[in-house]
Structure 1
């Protein structure tokens, strides 16, 4: 399999630098290269939807990857809530087609892409 390079450029003295330093430290603790950790995170966040939209994943694989991603993201939500001592976070309730929180965001923000957080967090320059 051919390996492709990934390069990430970010501004120093920014939140991006804080995130990259955090990822570097987490990768070091896990004995991983930072790029491998970044790819792992991107897979959790994007792979199930990317495979579905590309038509490459079969239903069993998509179900498995989707459940793995939801579990990992759910754990991350719990970590953020506990680390920041957040209170009154709404529970995500799933309807037949999409989570209620996503539907409410789309109602509030129009057709804005829920994955595109750059509109909500401009200073992070995602």
Structure 2
């Protein structure tokens, strides 16, 4: 499956990871999201954001959509149908994946664009 690189008003990728190394968490268990971005061609962690408290049904998923409103994608190990539906309606694409965080995030961003400054 191919995805467009994050850009515009959604330039970031959120990840559900307990260690920061692998995508290994069910969305319902996430306490914080790791946020990745691209700066000058390099992809890396730019920070973390707290997840809304568990419980509350759709209210929690609306909160997740708000916390991640500048993210194009959310990588999770697993997700239920209701959060998937709510988040998709808010413009956030949830991707179920397992593997190394940086490898998966770099795949979403694709190759760095060559500009006159970084092309030699």
TM-score (norm 2): 0.25
Higher helix fraction (1 or 2): 1
TM-score (norm 1): 0.24
Higher strand fraction (1 or 2): 2
The one of the two structures with greater contact order (alpha-carbon pairs below 8 A, sep at least 6) is 2
